[in-house]
Amino acid sequence: MASAIELSGLTKHFDEVVALDGVDLTVEDGEIFGFLGPNGAGKSTTIDTLLDFVRPNSGTVRVLGMDAQADSLEIRRRTGVLPDAYQVYGRLTGRQHVQFAIDSKDSDDDPLYLLERVASLTRPTARPAVTRKGCASASSSRWRWLATPTS
């Protein structure tokens, strides 16, 4: 079986800014992996290259054994992403937000299982503060990416 994520020599520049510089990374199927680091470390840029929202200057990007550029639509069909600017509804619980995402993707995922697996919300019946970034994303996909919060 192919690795979930394979990055080789991944480089991305934005004008004079080097966002990614020769990143090599393999995440095996079934692993839980997180991108941690300060603002500007390249976390969101890496996720954006995985989903072909941003094209690298050099290197290769494979997701679920597929080329991230050639097979970007199929990769996005099989994955989910929660961007860092995601806003929640203050009147909904964490579980209700996940159920909303499940319903919008026409999936049959179990919201409590997803909340337990991701462990993003320790109390699924608690209402979030005005905004909560990093909630669980749900879909019928095999992979869910949660972008890191901005400061």
pTM reported for the whole predicted model: 0.62
The pLDDT of residue 139 is 43
Question: In order of start, what are the domains of the chain with their CATH numbers?
Answer: 5-70 (3.40.50.300), 94-146 (no CATH)
Residue predicted with more confidence, 139 or 3: 3
The pLDDT of residue 71 is 95
Q: How many Å apart are CA 151 and CA 149, to the nearest integer?
A: 7
The pLDDT of residue 144 is 52
Burial classification of residue 46, based on how many CB atoms lie within 10 Å of its CB (0-12 exposed, 13-18 middle, 19 or more buried): buried
Q: Which two tokens stand for residue 55?
A: 């094209």
Residue predicted with more confidence, 9 or 75: 9
Q: Is the pLDDT of residue 151 over 70?
A: no
Q: How many Å apart are CA 142 and CA 151, to the nearest integer?
A: 29
Q: Which residue has the tokens 């806003």?
A: 87
Q: Is the pLDDT of residue 101 over 90?
A: no
Q: What are the CA-CA distances from residue 79 to residues 15, 51, 114 (Å)?
A: 30, 9, 14
Average pLDDT over residues 4-11: 96
Q: How do residues 19-57 score in pLDDT, each as one tens digit?
A: 999 999 999 988 888 888 888 899 989 999 998 999 999
Mean pLDDT taken over the chain: 77
Q: Of 52, 47, 54, which Cα lies nearest the Cα of 71?
A: 52
Q: How do residues 111-135 score in pLDDT, each as one tens digit?
A: 888 877 766 444 555 444 333 344 4
For residue 100, the surrounding DSSP H or E stretch is helix 94-104
